[in-house]
Amino acid sequence: MTIEKLISADSHVVEPPDLWEARIDVKYRDRAPRMVKAGAVDRWIADRDIQIGSLGAPSQAGKRFEDKDSLTIEAPFEDTPKAAYDPHARLKALEVDGVVGEVIYPTIAVRLIETDIASDLMSACFRAMNDWMAEFAQPYPNILKGSGIINVDDIDEAVKELERCAGLGLASATIPAYPGEGRTYDLPRNDRLWAAAQDLGLPLAMHSGSYRPGPGIIGTFANDITVGGTSSFRASEDYWVRRAIGDMMFAGVFERFPGLVIGAVEFELGWAAYFIQQMDRHYEEHRYVKEIRFKGDMMPGDFFHRNVFVTFQEDVAGIATRDIVGVDNILWSSDYPHTESTWPRSRQVLGRLLEGVPQDEAEKMAFRNAARIYNFN
């Protein structure tokens, strides 16, 4: 199959070394994330000694096709492609890959969610990140759509920053897939956030790796990658986004806020069909434990199809079960410039993956759904 036009619903920047030192509120400047030399590589730290991780994996797009054995978790910033932090260079990288638009997420800023960084410092970091992201996307507003990032520890503050993201022209906002113990998404405290996102028309994205510290959480990139259980955790990350969406579903969030749009980003796709079936089965058969009865004949799967979208890169099982997930809410992504990115062979990879899929369905997943949800022209 030939796919000529692509929109990536999940790509990234790699933050430049001076982003926070130059932009964060003055009162936080001496605690802001900064890049430090560690031998031949560069690492990020915040405050006195909070580890945020290194630069190898986020910046090695294309190497998987050239020499997998050369992939590293550590690298110096000088090895980061300019397209990872310069919008003009970015357009040249997109042209190589046949990509006409991108939704762009932070990298290091997402890792902050996994750390023990003080909540007020994290909020300040996110404000600076959002300012920079808006400036990154501004020269090419119909090609680059920046996603902001907000701290949900304090909902009033989260709503204020979400409104600011909208004012900056950002196209969505990232919230944690696990908001932390005592702050789960089934609680009424979150209703002000859901209402604001609905009224502003901004999708809220739960990105992989965005988990506040708590029981069972392993900061796989922000901390020590050699910690036991890291591989198992990474291979089962979809649990956290299923739990978050399930909490929202059975608390009636999508019924109360019909215009709310939630994205499950970089968790691939195959889990979604099973999850929808399990939610529907539980709702229909296990009546004695249900928290809520929806109005009319609506089922959890109906709300999922209306209010939730899912991104994928190379998920054979997900494409095979696309009818259950809903073709209208499946969005392809390249994950540029990260190690696992399909760049610069996205057209070939996606063409093979979608072989045998009807052309109209392939186009929806490759670019039309993203264009609709994120208002690409």
How many angstroms separate the Cα of 95 from the Cα of each of 4, 61, 66, 79? Answer: 11, 15, 20, 21
Q: Which residue has the tokens 């063409």?
A: 351
Q: Where are the domains of the chain?
A: 6-374
pLDDT number for residue 226: 65
pLDDT number for residue 234: 86
Name 129's Cβ contacts closer than 8 Å, sequence gap at least 6.
Answer: 15, 19, 20, 106, 109, 148, 149
Give which of 167, 173, 83, 90 is closest to 126, Cα–Cα: 173
145: β partners: 103
pLDDT in tens, the chain (377 residues): 788 799 999 999 999 999 999 999 999 999 999 999 989 999 999 998 899 988 887 888 988 998 888 888 889 999 999 999 999 999 999 999 999 999 999 999 999 999 999 999 999 999 999 999 999 999 999 999 999 999 999 999 999 999 999 999 999 999 999 999 999 999 999 999 999 999 999 999 999 999 999 888 887 665 556 677 888 888 999 999 999 999 999 999 999 999 999 999 999 999 999 999 999 999 998 877 767 889 999 999 999 999 999 999 999 999 999 999 999 999 999 999 999 999 999 999 999 999 999 999 999 999 999 999 999 98
Q: What angle do CA 83, 84, 87 make, to 5 degrees?
A: 55
370 φ, ψ (degrees, to nearest 5): -65, -40
CB 126 within 8 A of CB 111: no
pLDDT number for residue 74: 86
Size of the chain in residues: 377
Which secondary-structure segment (H or E) carries 193? helix 191-200
Name the token pair of 273: 């069909």
Which secondary-structure segment (H or E) carries 105? strand 99-105
44: β partners: 35, 53
pLDDT number for residue 224: 57
pTM recorded for the entire structure: 0.96
Could you give the CA distance from residue 202 to residue 195 in angstroms, rounded to a whole number?
Answer: 11
Name the token pair of 121: 């410092």
Name the token pair of 182: 């005592």
CB 234 within 8 A of CB 220: yes
- Architecture of the structural domain at 6-374: Alpha-Beta Barrel (3.20)
Q: Helix, strand or coil for residue 355? A: coil
Cα distance from N-terminal residue to C-terminal residue, the chain: 24
331 φ, ψ (degrees, to nearest 5): -125, 130
Q: Which residue has the tokens 């979604």?
A: 272
